[in-house]
Amino acid sequence: MVVLGVETSCDDTAAAVLKDGRTILANVVSSQDQIHGPYGGVVPELASRQHIRNILPIVDDALQKAGMTLKEIDGIAVTYGPGLVGSLLVGLSLVKGMSFHSGIPYVGVNHLEAHLLAIHLEREVPFPYIALLASGGHTLLYCVKEIGDYLHLGGTRDDAAGEAYDKVAKMMGLGYPGGRVIDNLARNGDRTAIHFPRARFRKDSYAFSFSGIKTAVWHYLKSRGKEQWEAEIADIAASFQEAVVDMLVNPTIKAAIATGVSRIVLSGGVAANSRLREKITQQGDAEGLDVFFPAPKFCTDNGAMIALAGYHWLKRGRRDDFRLNADADLTL
Ligand code: KG4
Ligand code: ZN
């Protein structure tokens, strides 16, 4: 079965062609980072307008790279939530139109589910596994029991991890998005230079919180003055990152131990972080847990993971009709 996947939930316009849920024939992403960069975050109205400009060329490009015409596609998968409603509507409306015109069935995909399953684009990981989804919009912990069976274990009480990266990068004038820039800066910094606080919760809870560290960095920058903090920017980046990574790693390892599930899978844009990957692997090894993460291009938003999730639902016979609407607050 060949599935076309379309993703426009936030600021990336993406399309992919996936064969039999396994072979990626094309995976095209057009980032809007340059458009939103000057604002230090995604501007919803600009995002949806840009999706309108990008979506047709991106879908055409994906089909062309796959060496296929629409007629050879067996099903279409499109993100219908959660995300920015204007952005979601662009992809969903296009796909409904394509499906109506061509008669090819389509399914709406939950963006969160697609992130949780993205690892299967590259390798088989047996169920169940503990999945940490850390992105610009979400920080969630699930036990993935099988496709369609997701046990919510915990999530952030305030900001998402990626949001903390982006806000701290903005404070330091590092541009948007900030995750990769801070990750790179931190490579040359001392992660023990400054002790930023880690949010703590009850022993039996798998909660996250990143608003405190954001404020702590802000106070630190204020207390030092620009000239001084600019001189120690790599240490600040490394110390901030270490605190965020600890707050992501600890509940995840704790959840795996408490549930007796020996596999951990990371996903979402923050899962591309080099220190997170290193530390969770080390701590996982020490506890006898296997840790898996997708390649960075499958951690951030992409059409291949949407095609993959859609493939599983299409294979099970699900078909959506044209009444399906975008759902900005869709949960899993
Ligand atoms: O999954 P994603 O592409 O979009 C959302 O659904 O949010 O994640 C984007 C987020 C941004 O906040 C970005 O700063 C962060 O992922 N990010 C990183 C890294 N690469 C991207 N955060 C930390 N380290 C990275 N290497
Ligand atoms: Zn995402």
Q: Which residue, by CA, sits nearest to atom 23 of ligand 1?
A: 179
Ligand 1 center to 162 CA (angstroms):
5
User: Taking 90 as the threshold, does the pLDDT of residue 203 lie above it?
Assistant: no
Lowest mean pLDDT among 165-174, 195-204, 301-310: 195-204
If we measure between CA atoms, which residue out of 270, 295, 208, 305 comes closest to residue 9? 305
Q: Per-residue pLDDT for 328 more than 90?
A: yes
Average pLDDT value over all residues in the chain: 96
- For residue 37, pLDDT over 90 is answered with no
The per-residue pLDDT for range 206-250, each reduced to its tens digit, is: 999 999 999 999 999 999 999 999 999 999 999 999 999 999 999
Of 214, 120, 207, which is closest to residue 162 (Cα–Cα)? Answer: 214
Q: Which atom of ligand 1 is nearest to the CA of 12?
A: 3
Q: Find out whether 166 and 160 touch, Cβ atoms under 8 Å.
A: no
pLDDT, one tens digit per residue, over 243-300 is 999 999 999 999 999 999 999 999 999 999 999 999 999 999 999 999 999 999 999 9
Please state the atom number of ligand 1 nearest to the C-alpha of residue 178.
14
Distance 244 CA to ligand 2 centre (A): 18
The number of beta carbons lying within 10 Å of the beta carbon of residue 144 is 24
Q: What is the atom index within ligand 1 of the atom nearest the CA of 301?
A: 3
Predicted confidence at residue 315, as pLDDT, reads 98
Percentage of the chain exceeding pLDDT 70: 100
Nearest listed ligand to the Cα of residue 79: 2
Q: Read off the pLDDT of each residue in 46-72 and give the average, rounded to a whole number.
A: 97
Pocket test for ligand 1, best of 27, 247, 270, 305 (most atoms within 8 A of CB): 270
Query: Residue 15: is it exposed, middle or buried by C-beta count within 10 angstroms (0-12/13-18/19+)?
Result: buried
Cα of 269 to ligand 2 centre, how many Å?
7
Judged against a pLDDT cut of 90, whether residue 83 lies above it is answered with yes
Structure confidence by residue, pLDDT tens digits, 94-148: 999 999 999 999 999 999 999 999 999 999 999 999 999 999 999 999 999 999 9
pLDDT for the residue numbered 303: 98
Ligand closest to Cα of 245 equals: 1
Q: What is residue 295's predicted lDDT score, i.e. its pLDDT? A: 96
Nearest protein CA to atom 8 of ligand 1, as residue:
269
The pLDDT score that the predictor gives to residue 119 is 98
Q: Quote the CA–CA distance of 48 and 11 in Å, as a whole number.
A: 8
Can you give the pLDDT at residue 273?
96
Structure tokens at 299: 């951690």
Residues above pLDDT 90, as percent of the chain: 95
pLDDT single digits (tens) 62-74: 999 999 999 999 9
Pocket of ligand 1 (CB under 6 A): 10, 135-137, 162, 165-166, 177-180, 183, 268-270, 272-273, 300-301
Res 174 pLDDT > 90: yes
Which residues fall within 8 angstroms of residue 282, CB to CB, at 6 or more apart? none
Alpha helices in the chain (DSSP H): 33-36, 44-66, 85-102, 111-117, 161-171, 179-186, 211-224, 226-231, 233-259, 274-286, 296-299, 303-315
Ligand 2: distance of its center to the CA of 82 in Å? 9
**Distance from the alpha carbon of residue 316 to the mean position of ligand 1, in angstroms:** 31
Asked if pLDDT for residue 33 goes beyond 90, the answer is no
**What is the widest separation between alpha-carbon atoms in the chain?**
63
pLDDT for res 241: 98
Ligand 1 pocket mutation pick from 110, 165, 167 by most atoms within 8 angstroms of CB: 165
Torsion of the alpha carbons at 55, 57, 61 and 67, rounded to the nearest 10: 100
